[in-house]
Amino acid sequence: MRPFAALLFAFLLTLPAMALPDEEDVSPYREMKTLARAMELVRQDYVDESKAGYQDLTYNALRGMLSELDPHSNFMDPKDFKGMQEDTKSEFGGLGIVVGIKKDYLTIVAPMEGTPGFRAGLLPGDVILEIDGKTAKKMTMNDAVEKLRGEPGTTVALTIGREGETKPMKFEIVREIVKVPSVRSARILDGPKGAPRIGYVRVTQFGEPTSGEFSRALSDLEKQGMDGLILDLRFNPGGLLSSAIDVAGEFLPSGALVAYTEGRSPAAARSYFVPEKNHEPRSYPLALLVNSSSASGSEIVAGALKDTGRALLIGETTFGKGSVQSVVSLPDGSAVRLTTAKYFTPGKQLIHGHGVTPHIVAPMGREAEAALLAARRKEELPGAEKQTSPTFYDMPLRRAADALRGTLLYKQEGRADR
């Protein structure tokens, strides 16, 4: 045993004599004695000595402790922490899928449009059973992300469990640099002659360019005579908080509350407001489409626009991922990612674990969701192939368009009666 380690454990083992007087004590030292004793037993008697180093045992204890808190808290050894820091500065090869832990299973929250995972036909709710032949059971989020990412051009093999399928499904997908437009399908919807003109924009994720792309799309639709807008956030897994605030801010006045956080520490309490901008908020009627794969930033936008009365929400209750993770480095170069706060909507509704409920419930079901994603994949096919693919009837979209047209016609009749 190293001299320092020997002194540390000798110190810990003498702690009871130092008097922690009663059972109400909440300091960590009494429990540290238990941990130290267990580590010494492993060091002394465990059959495989190569697995019984102090660092290995400490890191494994930290991994277990944090993974038991929630799916988003975890421990990163120095290699993992360095890799995370590099990922924020550089592009990487991946599949373009957002994964989460749902009911203890590694589950696809949403495949991002235009990415390898999306084109391969992965669906929200798919359970990842194996990655490159290795079981994904009990795999941490960190481990899963590390195995899914890799050099562009390399292949990853997935075994997927899907509701309604009796056997696991196999996919071999080539990694690419994930860099896709986040604002898609901006257009005026077809409608009855003389009816109000309804615009449609789909935001697939919230990245750095989203705010500018979204603002330009709205301006283009306004030039085409748009009377009302449908913003589609279905299958949007979130992204940058600042980008989500900017999107919500297109329809809210400067200084309006978008969301706030609360945690045990006063430092975790923060409020997020619409930044100052050089134009008035866009005032035409607005409908938001959401589903159970709308997560994180999507839920912040939906909650803000719902609670302020600015938008009509149509679809399904959202995913319910509204927590804040803080990364704290440790002295040896490792780090802890810890959930420190939860998001609330302006109306004081907790997002995490609850999601945002729509005004009008319009569920699609697994088959309809798969058909919708297939129709979106069709948009990326060459022209001839598009024509041979069947069209898809998007019921929630039609309900949103009908609701907006009804609102606009009612307003027009009201002005005519005056």
- Can you give the pLDDT at residue 232? 97
The three-point CA angle 62-67-68 to 5° equals: 105
Beta-sheet pairing, 228-232 with 198-203: parallel
Q: Tokens at residue 325, please?
A: 């993770």
Q: Which of 118, 149, 177 is the last residue of a domain?
A: 177
Does 149 share its domain with 8? no
Domain end, chosen from 135, 152, 177, is at 177
Q: Note whether residue 83 is domain-resident.
A: no
Domains held by the chain: number: 3
Kindly state the helix (H) or strand (E) to which residue 200 belongs, with its residue range: strand 198-203
Give the tokens for residue 278: 């050089």
Contact 186, 214 (CB under 8 A): no
- Residues in CB range of 176: below 8 A, 6 or more apart: 93, 94, 96, 115, 116, 152, 153
Both 297 and 369 in one domain: the answer is yes
The answer to whether residue 243 sits within a structural domain is yes
Q: What is the CATH number of the domain that holds 156?
A: 2.30.42.10
Residues pairing with 389 in the sheet? none
In a domain, 70, yes or no: no
Rounded CA separation 240/206 (Å)? 5
Indicate if 382 and 268 belong to the same structural domain.
yes
Range of the domain at 46: 3-52
- Based on the residue annotation, tell me whether 307 is a catalytic residue of this protein: yes
Q: Is residue 384 part of a domain?
A: yes
Q: CB of 199 within 8 A of CB of 226? A: yes
Give CA angle at 163 (353, 134), nearest 5°. 85
Instruction: Classify residue 45 as left (phi > 0), alpha (psi -120 to 50) or beta.
Output: alpha
Q: What is the pLDDT of residue 18?
A: 44
Single out the residue of 205, 198, 203 nearest to residue 216, CA to CA: 203
Most confident of 46-55, 204-213, 300-309, 326-335: 300-309
Residue 292 within any structural domain of the chain: yes
In this structure, are residues 360 and 312 in contact, taking their beta carbons and an 8 Å threshold?
yes
The closest alpha carbon to 346, from 295, 292, 285, 271, belongs to 271
Q: Tell me the C-alpha distance between 347 and 307, whole Å.
A: 5
Which residue in the block uniquely carries the two structure tokens 């789909």?
A: 202
Choice among 296, 298, 323, 334 that is catalytic = 296
Contact call for residues 132 and 171 (beta carbons, < 8 A):
no
Identity at 170, one-letter amino acid code: K
Which pLDDT score is estimated for 24?
A: 54
Residues 202 and 145 in one domain: no
Helix count and strand count (H, E) for the chain:
12, 19
Q: What pLDDT band is residue 13 in, cutting at 50, 70 and 90?
A: very low
Q: Is 270 within a domain? A: yes
Q: Kindly state whether residues 24 and 155 are assigned to the same domain.
A: no
Domain assignment present for residue 58? The answer is no
Q: Does residue 37 carry a pLDDT above 60?
A: yes
Instruction: Mark whether 279 and 352 lie in a shared domain.
Output: yes
- Segment 231-246 mean pLDDT: 94
Q: How far apart are CA 245 and CA 251, in angstroms?
A: 10
| Active-site residue (options: 321, 334, 342, 394) | 321
Mean pLDDT of the chain: 86
**pTM beyond 0.75:** yes
pLDDT tens profile 41-63: 999 999 998 888 999 999 999 99
Rounded to a whole number of angstroms, the distance between the first and last alpha carbons of the chain is 90
Q: Are residues 278 and 257 in the same domain?
A: yes
Which of 78-92, 243-257, 313-327 is the least confident region? 78-92
Domain end, chosen from 143, 177, 211, is at 177
Give Cα 296 to chain centroid, integer Å.
5
403 and 342 within one domain: yes
> Is pLDDT above 90 for 146?
no
Q: Is 321 a catalytic residue?
A: yes
* CATH number for position 187: 3.90.226.10
Is the Cβ–Cβ distance between 272 and 257 less than 8 Å?
A: yes
Task: Assess if residue 84 is contained within a domain.
Answer: no
373-398 burial, b for 16+ CB within 10 Å, e for fewer?
Answer: beebbbeeeeeeeeeeeeeeebebbe
Asked if residue 278 and residue 227 are part of one domain, the reply reads yes
Question: Across residues 213-230, what is the average pLDDT?
Answer: 96
For residues 155 and 174, what is the distance between their CA atoms, to the nearest angstrom?
4
| Helix, strand and coil in the chain, % to nearest 5 | 35, 25, 40
114 and 234 together in one domain = no
Mind listing the pLDDT tens digit for each residue in 326-385? 899 999 999 999 999 999 999 999 999 999 999 999 998 888 988 898 888 887 665 544
pLDDT reported for residue 381 = 62
The position carrying tokens 């919500």 is: 248
Residue type, 191: G
- The predicted structure's pLDDT at residue 227: 96
Q: Are residues 101 and 191 in the same domain?
A: no
Q: How far apart are CA 73 and CA 324, in angstroms?
A: 10
Residues 278 and 383 in one domain: yes
Q: Which of 80, 126, 232, 307 is catalytic?
A: 307
C-alpha distances in Å from residue 366, one per residue of 33, 177, 235: 51, 29, 13
Residue 232 is among the residues annotated as catalytic for this protein? no
Residue 115 C-alpha from the chain's centroid? 16
